[in-house]
Amino acid sequence: MADPNKALPENVEGDFFVDSTCIGCHNCSDLAPGVFAEVANDFYLVVKKQPETEKELRNALRALVCCPKGSIGTRNKHDMKAVLEQFPVEISEGVYYLGFNSDRSAGAKSFFIASEQGNWMVEAPKLQSRTISWIEKQGGLAYIFLSHRDDVAQAREFAHHFNAKRIIHEGDLEAQPDAEIVLKGSEAVTITEEFLVIPTPGHTIGHCVLLHKDKHLFTGDMLTSRERFDDPIEAWKPEICWWSWDRQTESIRRLLNYDFEVMIPSHGRLLRDSAENMKSHLEQCIRRCDAEPDKNPATPYRAKYLTFMIEHAKRTGQAEYSDETKRNLEDVLRKMND
Ligand code: SF4
Ligand SMILES: [Fe+2]
């Protein structure tokens, strides 16, 4: 429950506010763009504009119930039961945003995909009875795709409840060592007829994306939409590329071999366009990535993110990752002091 006494000073006055527990996951600005926005070069978001239209109010309330830290509050009363009942939200044919982002995945979104060969979940939301019983009504889960180590949250509990198979790459296996399907190497793997997993190392060594029906591309933390440059497709900034910016750029280039019409990032906004236009957006993104002036920035912003990730890794039992991130942080701090 957000605390008005801890409301961040950058919030505009009015009903909605963000408090100091915000972890800067950006989910609120994805769901209610314009209302929530990042404070430049800092680690949290605030209310930049109070909702004015019905749609803005609906989206801001959705952002409130999905905030992984409960950092968003209102000073007025709203019908929250009605808001909760809006979830899961169908975002494309047979694809649902589950809502209720988990703090254990740094606020990543998670999705449900209906399939005759068994339903899928992408990443994992908070484990709660509302989501479990909705999935049960859809016929349960056969597979849980984990794009990378940061976003596994309570995938294990979902897998055990539904007898589902978790899919993760061996590069990020430390986050889910008992996963049922472990991908190796760089070959794309067809899991069932409609689902192709493509290894895309960069953000982490074991990062993968999921292509569904040559239509929906679930891009994990590799690609997002409209955060830095107003380009339709963007890579997240180098400050939050944990492993290799150049390898990530290669991975993005690899996606030119595939057709997709809906890009669905775990952090960021969904993007729809023709397969042909998606390719030209990817090419634009690759040009930006190649031209990035500082691929391993030593900035206070990166130091903050790395510190956060060390804590995150510890909380999710990933000691080795934490050690690697500690080395990254030491490197950044040393360069900042030079
Ligand atoms: S969803 Fe919550 S934690 Fe994430 S950026 Fe918004 S206010 Fe912060
Ligand atoms: Fe990540």
User: Domain holding 53: CATH number?
Assistant: 3.30.70.20
Residue 227 confidence class, pLDDT cut points 50, 70, 90: low
Residue 110 confidence class, pLDDT cut points 50, 70, 90: very high
Mean per-residue pLDDT for 304-328?
A: 85
CA distances from 12 to 44, 47, 48, 77, 127 (A): 14, 6, 6, 18, 33
Calpha distance 56→62 (Å, rounded) = 10
- The percentage of the chain sitting over the pLDDT mark of 70, rounded to a whole number, equals 99
pLDDT at 165 over 90: yes
Given this model, what pLDDT does residue 311 score?
87
Mean per-residue pLDDT for 291-304?
A: 90
Q: Do 138 and 208 lie in a common domain?
A: yes
Boundaries of domain holding 280: 89-291
Calpha distance 298→253 (Å, rounded) = 26
From the CA of 75, how far away is ligand 2's center (Å)? Answer: 33
Q: Do 57 and 164 lie in a common domain?
A: no
Q: Do 123 and 173 lie in a common domain?
A: yes
Candidate from 44, 100, 312 with most ligand 1 atoms within 8 A of CB, to mutate? 44
Beta strands in 170-243 (DSSP E): 181-183, 189-192, 195-199, 208-212, 216-218, 223-224, 234-235
Residue after which a domain boundary falls, among 84, 115, 137: 84
Residue after which a domain boundary falls, among 65, 84, 103: 84
pLDDT at 54 over 90: yes
- The percentage of the chain sitting over the pLDDT mark of 90, rounded to a whole number, equals 80
Given this model, what pLDDT does residue 41 score?
66
Q: Which residue from 150, 132, 163 is spatially nearest to 25, judged by alpha carbons?
A: 150
From the CA of 78, how far away is ligand 2's center (Å)? Answer: 33
Domains identified in the chain, total number: 3
Q: For ligand 1, what atom is nearest to the CA of residue 66?
A: 1
Given this model, what pLDDT does residue 305 score?
86
Q: Do 255 and 181 lie in a common domain?
A: yes
Calpha distance 171→169 (Å, rounded) = 5
Q: Do 137 and 179 lie in a common domain?
A: yes
Tokens representing 176 are: 């889910």
Contact 219, 252 (CB under 8 A): no
Calpha distance 147→106 (Å, rounded) = 14
What are the residues whose beta carbons fall under 8 Å from the beta carbon of 267, sequence distance 6 or more? Answer: 25, 26, 27, 30, 106, 107, 108, 109, 221, 224, 236
**Mutual orientation of helices 155-162 and 129-137 as an angle, nearest 10°?**
40
pTM: 0.95
CA 273 to chain centre: 20
Q: Do 304 and 285 lie in a common domain?
A: no
Residue 231 confidence class, pLDDT cut points 50, 70, 90: confident
Q: Do 226 and 116 lie in a common domain?
A: yes
Given this model, what pLDDT does residue 204 score?
94
For residues 296 and 148, which has the higher predicted lDDT (pLDDT)?
Answer: 148
Q: For position 177, which CATH number holds?
A: 3.60.15.10
Residue 8 confidence class, pLDDT cut points 50, 70, 90: very high
pLDDT at 96 over 90: yes
Given this model, what pLDDT does residue 300 score?
87
Q: Do 131 and 218 lie in a common domain?
A: yes
Contact 233, 282 (CB under 8 A): yes
DSSP state of 228: S
Given this model, what pLDDT does residue 230 score?
79
From the CA of 236, how far away is ligand 2's center (Å)? Answer: 10
Candidate from 20, 72, 266 with most ligand 1 atoms within 8 A of CB, to mutate? 72
Contact 31, 62 (CB under 8 A): yes
Q: Do 131 and 47 lie in a common domain?
A: no
Q: Which residue has the tokens 């957000």?
A: 2
Q: For ligand 1, what atom is nearest to the CA of residue 45?
A: 5
Contact 27, 66 (CB under 8 A): yes
Q: Do 246 and 322 lie in a common domain?
A: no
Residue after which a domain boundary falls, among 36, 66, 84: 84
CB-based pocket (< 6 A), ligand 1 = 18, 22-28, 36, 44-45, 67-69, 71-72, 107
Q: Do 157 and 177 lie in a common domain?
A: yes
pLDDT in tens, 309-318: 888 888 888 8
Give CA angle at 155 (325, 115), nearest 5°.
125
Q: Do 98 and 57 lie in a common domain?
A: no
